[in-house]
Amino acid sequence: MRFTFRCLDAKADAPLLHGWVTQPYASFWGMLSASVDDVVEEYAKIQASGHHHALLGLDGGVPAFLMEEYRPASSPLAAVYPVLPGDLGMHLLVAPPSSGPRPGYTAAVMDAVLDRLFARPGVDRIVVEPDARNTKIHALNERLGFQPAGVVTLPDKDALLSFCSRDDYLAARTAPDTLSKHVPQGASL
């Protein structure tokens, strides 16, 4: 696996993303009934926000996942926890597997995303807020160093707020079997 990232083009990439966000496994993404135009609108808004940005993750040049990064201070999270200057929020959606599940794939994707985010100057902690019912992603988050802080109520969901410091991530990354345990490809965060 060789992951690279490129800026998402809301209009050009919308048909691809539509095929991902409308799959049953992506129910927690909240776009199951979205049209292609809805996807264009949502990602054009994200890209223009100035505080939220979407990237397409590529595996060997082939689109494989969607990653969003955002400033928690400019999001609904600002109302539910004391945001620190080095906090950066993250969302992740892995594409449906084209040739069947690949054990450890989603963990490898998330590792690449976290590595990229922690490489940014000033980023001390990654914040995630997946739906409280999304137990698959909670398990993966914990394996990669996230510490649950509790369930919070956001405008669109009850979410398990979790934090991952650089030290927690590095410790998890060096733990035996962190990246080799099976997590179904297609998990969403």
> For the chain, what are the domain ranges?
3-174
How distant, in Å, are the alpha carbons of 64, 110, 163 from that of 149?
Answer: 29, 20, 7
pLDDT the model gives residue 168: 96
CATH topology of domain 3-174: Aminopeptidase (3.40.630)
Rounded to whole angstroms, how far apart are CA atoms 112 and 109? 5
Strands (DSSP E) contained in the chain are 3-7, 52-59, 62-70, 87-94, 125-128, 147-154, 157-165
Rg (CA), the chain: 15
What proportion of the chain, given as a percentage, has pLDDT over 70?
92
How many other C-beta atoms lie within 10 A of the C-beta of residue 161?
A: 21
Q: Tell me the C-alpha distance between 185 and 189, whole Å.
A: 12
3-state DSSP assignment of residue 126: strand
pLDDT in tens, 43-72: 999 999 999 999 999 999 999 999 999 999
CB 66 within 8 A of CB 52: no
